[in-house]
């Protein structure tokens, strides 16, 4: 049974459909990256899962419990981290955490121990007596994570936790999330920092206009976004003639000239004219691919570059959300 699941989850605001029959399935212990443009439905989904919004139709479940009917049993299982921290900023850090610990019926020595433990986990022990409103944006986000860990939830729902952070603070949040993943937490995280999601998450979902376009591993997302096998080749001159020669190679689907590039060498700089070669899938990785350098050399061309196009999560996101992949 999935730890987090939505079944035809739909949310409407009048005529606006924020979520359109969303079907998510997140296994226990997974770190699920939720990706989509602004207004795609990410925050709406997370708020429904956090029991803060009611769906218009469909179902959402946490550990087999249905949101809207079993919220009292669900809330101890989840921790919700919004993109901005919110109120109670006039408290000091320990007061802030003790306030929320008491809300979860954690009292006495146990409360002191739990607060100390989450401060240590989030590396905020040295800020225990600081006022919350004196903390940097990054420290406030770590404190927000510390808050939701007080009752040791199974599921963490995180809406843009690295939003507005400087590079150092983003790295610190990322390392904290890695530690939570190692602890076996099930994490649903939305973010616009896609290269960090690729490093952190084992599964990603891409949503646009309330519809889930893709859900699977990062590797599967990259494979689906790949529009054929593309090789980048650079030659010193006569690029048009080289392109004409390469277009005749068996298995080549398309040859395109692109802007010239300047490559540094020990003897100065070499002007390189770039050619992009797209292979048919059946030819990708076959002899046609490996014969390209020899074909060019035998044709009298000097090669300055030869390599496969890299497809990353940002590329996959752009292609999938633009409807370029069926």
> Mean pLDDT of residues grouped by 10 in the chain (326 residues)?
94 92 94 88 95 95 95 95 77 94 92 95 93 90 93 94 81 88 93 75 89 85 66 86 86 79 50 79 54 85 79 65 51
pLDDT, tens digit (0-9, with 9 covering 90-100), for 314-324: 666 666 676 44
From the number of C-beta atoms within 10 Å of its C-beta (0-12, 13-18, 19+), residue 6 rates as buried
Half-sphere exposure in the Cβ direction for 221 (13 Å, CA): 30
* Residue found by looking up tokens 């020990």 in the block: 266
Residue 153, helix vs strand vs coil = coil
Asked if 200 contacts 188 with a C-beta cutoff of 8 angstroms, the reply is: no
Backbone φ, ψ for residue 242 (5° rounding): -65, -40
DSSP E strand boundaries for 114-162: 155-159
Tell me what pLDDT residue 199 has: 78
- pLDDT for position 228: 57
pLDDT at site 265: 45
Cα separation, 309 vs 284, whole angstroms: 12
Name all domains of the chain by residue range, CATH numbers in brackets: 4-224 (3.40.50.300), 227-310 (3.30.70.1340)
pLDDT at 324: 44
């Amino acid at each position: 049974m999935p730890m987090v699941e939505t079944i035809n989850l739909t949310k409407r605001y009048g005529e606006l459909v924020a979520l359109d029959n969303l079907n998510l399935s997140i296994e226990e212990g997974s770190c699920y990256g939720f990706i989509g443009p602004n207004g795609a439905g990410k925050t709406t989904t997370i708020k429904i899962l956090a029991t803060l919004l009611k769906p218009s139709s469909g179902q959402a479940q946490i550990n087999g419990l249905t949101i809207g009917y079993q919220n009292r049993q669900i809330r101890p299982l989840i921790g919700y981290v919004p993109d901005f921290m919110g109120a109670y900023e006039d408290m000091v850090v320990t007061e802030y955490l003790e306030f929320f610990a008491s809300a979860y019926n954690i009292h006495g020595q146990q409360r002191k121990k739990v607060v100390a433990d989450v401060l240590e986990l989030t590396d905020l022990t040295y800020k225990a007596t600081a006022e919350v409103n004196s903390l940097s944006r990054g420290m406030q986000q770590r404190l927000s994570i510390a808050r939701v860990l007080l009752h040791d939830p199974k599921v963490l729902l995180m809406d843009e936790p690295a939003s507005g952070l400087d590079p150092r603070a983003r790295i610190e949040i990322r390392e904290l999330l890695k530690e939570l993943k190692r602890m076996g937490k099930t994490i649903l995280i939305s973010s616009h920092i896609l290269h960090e999601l690729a490093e952190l998450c084992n599964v990603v979902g891409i949503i646009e206009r309330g519809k889930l376009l893709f859900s699977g591993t990062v590797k599967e997302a990259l494979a689906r976004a790949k529009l054929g096998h593309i090789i980048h080749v650079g030659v010193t001159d006569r690029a048009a003639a080289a392109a004409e020669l390469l277009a005749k190679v068996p298995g080549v689907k398309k040859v395109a000239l692109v802007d010239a590039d300047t490559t540094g060498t020990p003897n100065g700089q070499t002007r390189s004219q770039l050619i992009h070669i797209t292979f048919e899938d059946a030819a990708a990785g076959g002899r046609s691919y490996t014969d390209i350098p020899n074909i060019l050399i035998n044709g009298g061309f000097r090669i300055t570059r030869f390599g496969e196009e890299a497809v990353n999560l940002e590329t996959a996101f752009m292609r999938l959300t633009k409807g370029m992949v069926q």
